[in-house]
Amino acid sequence: MADIRAGILGTGHSYPEGILTNADLEKMVETSDDWITSRTGIKQRRKAAPGEYTSLFAVKAARQAIERAGLEPADIDLILCATVTPDQILPSTGCIIQAELGANKAAAMDLVAACSGFLYGLTVADTMIQTGKSKHALVIGAEILTQYVDYTDRQTCILFGDGAGAAVLGAVENSHGILASRIRSDGRYEEQLFSPGGGTRRPASAETLAAGDHFFKMKGNELFKVAVRSMAEISREVLEEAGLTADDVKLFIPHQANQRITDAVASKLNVDTERVYSNIAMHGNTSSASIPIGLDECVEAGKIQKDDIVLLASFGGGVTWGAVLIRW
């Protein structure tokens, strides 16, 4: 299998119609548009309506990606759904997506790696395709984060939005596709970004709900430094592995966590602003969905052309981080 690589054959994305603006948040919590924009770069975020759930948007994004790849659901043999907001505990959201798509030949599972989930999924799919274990893999990042947001905590409620993005992978010419990928984690930073309630350590109860243990908790200042350092270092690693430099990168799509993080990572890598994609102003932080949404937006806008070098990098709770380098 040395003469093939895994490449992205089609992309798609979907998000709710509901929009939560900074002006809306000003009516809910002590904050302001200036405060939010200056610290995060976010102006609005998509918010699911009651009754809307993660797989609903995942399936829409997946259908689009499969169609653009020129395939049918029956052609997919692996489905990886990256999410920290599954439809339910059992079965996996991946299996729910599989049934809805009619991809009856596919193995399906969820990956839990927070904001790095999509890149974890790309790395697993790449390995499966290169080894011949999979022919066409569907990788999805999908989240309904607003259901886990404490709208009395102005540090976190301003950040998160909802949506889904997807990519279909298959074998491509050896000089194209995924040139290098790396994923990492460090559980010692668990409490930098976590949701303590609802699992077997702290089962859901009236007490945990009253305490807000199911909401996201974050230590933003500490997380910022670790995120910038980790994303920059792992991006250099994949560039070095591929024998390339930052000057070769046509487009850098980082996880949309915070505009200041994006700017700091780009600066450390010496990637010019015009080669860095940012949609955080319109979507906020959509965790595992942020990179595939951004990737599909770039494809739709014609920002990515054949032979372009595209760098993806992410950092998330766990903590986890990763980078994937692609020749389109």
Active site residues: 115, 255, 285
What gap in Å lies between CA 168 and CA 62, rounded to an integer? Answer: 8
Q: Give DSSP secondary structure letters for 215-262.
A: S-EE-HHHHHHHHHHHHHHHHHHHHHHTT--GGG-SEEEE--S-HHHH
137 forms beta bridges with 78, 169
Are residues 169 and 139 in contact, defined by beta-carbon separation less than 8 angstroms? Answer: yes
Six-digit token string for 69:
């790849």
- In angstroms, rounded to a whole number, what is the distance separating the alpha carbons of residues 174 and 299? 21
User: What DSSP letter does each residue of 88-151 carry, written as one string?
Assistant: -SSS-HHHHHHHHHT-TT-EEEEE--GGGHHHHHHHHHHHHHHTTS-SSEEEEEEEEGGGG--T
Tell me the C-alpha distance between 132 and 33, whole Å.
51
What are the structure tokens assigned to 223, written together? Answer: 């997380």
Quote the CA–CA distance of 148 and 160 in Å, as a whole number: 9
Pairing of strands 4-14, 44-46: unpaired
Rounded CA-CA distance 13/251 in Å is 19
